[in-house]
Amino acid sequence: MQLLEGKIALITGGSRGIGEAIVRKFAAHGATVAFTYVSEGSAARAQQLAAELGPNAKAYRSDAGDYAQAEALINEVVKDFGRLDVLINNAGITRDTLMLRMSEQQWDEVIQTNLKSVFNLTKHALKPMLRSGGCIINMSSVVGVFGQAGQANYAASKAGIHGFTKSIAKEYGTRGVRCNAIAPGFIATEMTAVLDEKTKEGYLSAIPLKRLGSGDDVANACVFLASEMGGYITGQVLSVCGGLNV
């Protein structure tokens, strides 16, 4: 059953990790998928993914944290596909360190990529969405719910997404635009693969389901929220964390 047949979706940071899983899952459910990558090193991987998925997928090089690039991206996607039904603000980075060691640059980079990008893309995506409705999904983290030592910048960016999401839901619900956030827990990706075994074991001991999440676990939640099955849900933060935040 294809839950997203005919939908036009844009996923930022879609060339790897959770973003790639969402791109693949949306394509499998019948959506036309536009997705972004930011570095030259990701270009070949992104183009390979687009080629693998066929004519209903296209990769764009764009920095979500840059206001002008975000505007140009939205305009290009609408020009290429006619409209925009779903936006998933997935682009994100970490610059982990304790507060006394954290530089201004480390703070600013995380806030710009993780939080300002959500403002950038949402602001520009609302214009085409207000014509026919739409769905915005912002990728947060359980760290934005309960905090984490060594991640004050990351936690602040993700907690900011929660307030932003609820505000957009209230502003534009009457215009047919839904806005929700997903807060993944400990998901097995390239970003988490570098953690040592002791750290991983510590997380596993705190997860009631006793396993790491997968990109597909998060992607499935995105499909649900973007489809008609999630049509009466807006302004919510859905934790996909195996019970980690209980």
pLDDT tens readout for residues 42-83? 999 999 999 999 999 999 999 999 999 999 999 999 999 999
pLDDT tens readout for residues 186-201? 998 876 777 778 878 8
Tell me what pLDDT residue 238 has: 98
Give yes or no for residue 33 having a pLDDT over 80: yes
Tell me what pLDDT residue 191 has: 66
Tell me what pLDDT residue 193 has: 74
Strand blocks (E) in 84-176: 86-89, 134-139
Contact partners, residue 83, CB within 8 Å, separation at least 6 = 8, 128, 131, 132
Taking the CB of residue 63, how many other CB atoms lie within 10 A of it? 20
Tell me what pLDDT residue 55 has: 95
What is residue 206's three-state secondary structure?
helix
Tell me what pLDDT residue 197 has: 84
Q: Which fold has domain 8-237?
A: Rossmann fold (3.40.50)
pLDDT tens readout for residues 91-121? 999 999 999 999 999 999 999 999 999 999 9
154 is catalytic: yes
Identify the active-site residue in 154, 172, 203, 232: 154
| String of DSSP letters for 120-145 | HHHHHHHHHHHHH-EEEEEE--THHH
Give yes or no for residue 207 having a pLDDT over 90: yes
Q: Flag the least confident range among 39-43, 165-169, 237-241.
A: 39-43
Tell me what pLDDT residue 29 has: 98
CA dist., res. 157 & res. 99, Å (int): 15
Q: For residue 209, what are the CA distances in angstroms to 33, 90, 186, 203, 245?
A: 32, 25, 12, 11, 12
Mean pLDDT, to the nearest integer, of 197-223? Answer: 92
Give yes or no for residue 223 having a pLDDT over 80: yes
Tell me what pLDDT residue 20 has: 97
What is the token pair recorded at 184? Answer: 């993944």
Tell me what pLDDT residue 122 has: 98
Domain ranges, ordered by start, for the chain: 8-237
